[in-house]
Structure 1
Amino acid sequence: MSAVVLLLLLPPLVSAQTYHWGPCQTPRVQPGFDLQKYLGRWYEIEKLPASFERGKCIEANYAIRKDGTIRVLNSQFYKDKVRVAEGTAVIPDLREPSKLGVSFSYFTPYSPYWILTTDYNQLAVVYSCTDILRLFHVDYAWILGRSRFLPPDTVMFAKKLLISEGVDLFRMKATDQMGCKDD
């Protein structure tokens, strides 16, 4: 029965995400991560495919809420309008502050949101992986910038880092940031 369910789940995953056989990778994360410096607006420069991100002008804004959780406000321009999704991020283990969990619904568990590296001022490289019964996993990876465009050598540095951590970038593509309106 579970094999049938797995086969039914695969087609949507294949078209909209990056999946691989076996369990998730465990890449190294940013040592000494400082959440306060990370807060604010980040623009998506490149990413592995994600079914929830199909538009252009994609950005994320992070802020601390009064209850101590992190407000995640993602926006994108898709089908002629700006679409916004608000989520919550937490740091499950304060000993590893660069390993956040993010959820966009009260009904879904927190997904990994690991900051592999950031200089806080220009670049952040983020990785997430969802393990499905340890049979296969779905990878997500983002190269983020504090501006809509990063120098090519900075993007190449980020890609080399992801590759060195075992992340397959075959399906990674640039996010369209042309003609976007800034607040």
Structure 2
Amino acid sequence: MKIVLGLVFVLTLSVIRAQVPHWGPCPEPEVQPAFSLQQFTGRWFEIAKLPAQFEKGRCIETNFTLRTDTSVRVVSSEVQKGQVRKIEGTGIVVDPKNPAKLGISYSYVLPYSPYWILSTDYVTFALVYSCTDVLRLFHVDFAWILGRTRSLPDSTIEKALNTFAYNNIDVTRMTPSRQQDCDKTF
């Protein structure tokens, strides 16, 4: 049993290396009321994010294509070392009573990860949050500010940061995403 727990601990550390773990369980932020998955579909550009080991490139964007009323095809791409890298996954509405709480998986063997839409106007910006509890002792979270264009006004970003803070989500380590010279690559 000790060997299994040790292995779980080592694997957990490797997964969260770029992230900042926080003590205690995940916060329960408010999500977008009356969320419409159909209106959310389309192309979103990453404007800012909390560190994520699975995102190392620039020009990060995600395209959501409706499959059913509760399922979307998710294609994320980034430019890394001059190459466009894409990964395809599936997004689902986890609870039809709360459609802003999506789950996304990029693998058939991995469970769906939380992908909660905290706020969006569908045409300009979206705020996304994901959090995973580790043995309810601590949690690892991700947060993104997304835009329909490669940049957003400072006032929109400031409002987004305030929304995260209001929901007890620590975004002090959030960094701007690199979205320069992207149209030449895609």
TM-score by length of 1: 0.94
**Identity in percent:** 50
Give the corresponding residue for 2:175.
Answer: 173
SS, match of residue 159 in structure 1: helix
Give SS of 1:16's match.
coil
Distance, in Å, in 1 between the alignment partners of 2:68 and 2:94 is 17
- Separation in 1 of the partners of 2:55 and 2:138? 22
Cα distance change, pair 66–34 in 1 and its aligned pair in 2 (3 A): closer
Q: How does 1:1-183 map to 2 (within 5 A)?
A: 1=2, 4-5=6-7, 7-9=9-11, 11-65=13-67, 69-181=71-183
Q: Which amino acid aligns with 1:32?
A: A
Determine the C-alpha separation between the residues in 1 that align with 2:94 and 2:85.
28
State the secondary structure of the residue aligned to 1:26: coil
| Distance (whole Å) between structure 1 residues aligned to residue 57 and residue 172 of structure 2 | 20
2: CA distance between counterparts of 1:11 and 1:86?
25
What is the Cα deviation at residue 67 of structure 1? Answer: 9.0
For 1:163 and 1:78, locate their aligned partners in 2 and report how far apart those are by CA, in whole Å: 31
User: 1:170 Cα deviation (Å)?
Assistant: 2.1
Deviations 1:76-124 (A, max 9, x none): 0012200001010000211100000000000000010000000001010
Aligned residues: 183
Q: State how far apart, in whole Å, the 1-side matches of 2:153 and 2:142 are.
A: 22
**TM-score, normalised via structure 2 length:** 0.92
CA distance, structure 1, for counterparts of residue 9 and residue 103 of structure 2: 28
For structure 1, the residue ranges without an aligned partner over 5 or more in a row are: none
Deviation of 1:66 after TM superposition, in Å, equals: 6.0
> Residues of 2 paired with 1:11 and 1:109: CA distance?
18
